[in-house]
Every structure is written in C-alpha cells, then in structure tokens.
Amino acid sequence: MRMRIILTVIAVAMVAITLTACSGSGDAGGKGGSTETSNLKQIQQQRAGEYLVTVLSETGQLKQGPNKFVLEFRKASDNQLTDVGEVQLNALMPMPGMSPMSGGAGATPSGTPGRYDIESNFSMVGTWNFTVKFGSGQQARFALKAQ
C-alpha cells in the first residue's frame, strides 16, 4: 500500500518534470512588438542556395506567445534584398513523448522587396523548429528560441 503511494508520487513528479521541461518561465501571452525596420536586430541567419535568409526583431529575441518579427531574403552574392514571391512558414516544437506542438506562423510582404512581416504564436517557451519555404522549392530551417 505504502509502496503504491510512493510509486504514484514518483510518477506524478516525472510528469511534472516533463511538462516543465519546455515551459520555463510563466510569462504567458505577451504583446507582439511592432516591426519598425529602423532598429531591427538579427536573431539568426541561414544560407539557402544563393540566398541569405535572416530572422530579425526589434529586441533581437523572441518570446512566448504572439510575436511580430521580420524575415529578410538577400542574394548572397551582393547582400541586396530580393523579392522571393510567396513565403510559407511552419513552426513546430518537438515534445518528448508527444506529437510535436504546432505554432501558427504567417508571412506578409512588408512593401519592401525581400522583407516580410511575420506573425507567429509560440505557445511555449523553448526551441521552435521554424521552416521557411520560398521561391522555387528553396528552404531554410531555423531553431528559434522563445523565452
């Protein structure tokens, strides 16, 4: 009887540890920042074929909950912004022992060729696998940290 209680306590503790593994700080929600282009800070950059794909935001960071940030596409040869047409995004967080968690993400042309305004919802703190598809089958993958 006592053994069963101890085992239950251990099982509950293990579930709690698993759940907190990628939830981190409890600041749920949060406001999306504006995407003024004047003071954007680079978060990550990836090479995809002849393109450089850059994730930027006002703070240089991403946070849990709704985010507004910016994607830029530049030709690696001359570092000039280049329109790439339609951009498709996918945000997934791998979860231990569960199917991946999906975060919404959409891209809107900003009016400046090669620069797109991104809205996403990173529902948990942790690393999101962020896939960017553009052009004729080009693809860039980022591991973005929401804090």
**Does 92 engage in binding with Cu ion (CB under 5 A)?**
no
Q: Hey, CA dihedral for 88, 94, 98, 101, is it positive or negative?
A: negative
Min dist CB 29 to Cu ion, Å, is 16
Residues facing residue 20 across a β-bridge: none
The residue from 52, 70, 93, 118 that contacts Cu ion (CB under 5 A) is 93
Q: Is 43 in the site for Cu ion (CB under 5 A)?
A: no
CA 99 vs. chain centroid, Å, equals 17
Minimal CB distance residue for Cu ion: 124
What SS3 class is residue 127? Answer: strand
Contacting Cu ion (CB under 5 A), which of 124, 140, 144, 146? 124
Give dist(CA 143, CA 147) in Å, integer: 13
Nearer to Cu ion, 40 or 144 (CB): 144
Of these, 18, 22, 66, 127, which contacts Cu ion (CB under 5 A)? 22
Q: What is the DSSP letter of 123?
A: -
Stretch of 9-17, 48-56, 96-104, 129-137 lying at the interface with Cu ion (CB under 5 A):
96-104
Q: CA-CA distance, 33 to 77, in Å (whole number)?
A: 31
Q: Considering beta carbons, is residue 30 or 113 the nearer one to Cu ion?
A: 30
Q: Which residue has the tokens 């085992």?
A: 7
Contact segment (CB under 5 A) with Cu ion among 9-17, 58-66, 76-84, 95-103 equals 95-103
Residues of the shown chain interacting with Cu ion in the complex, contacts defined by CB under 5 A: 22, 93, 95, 101, 124
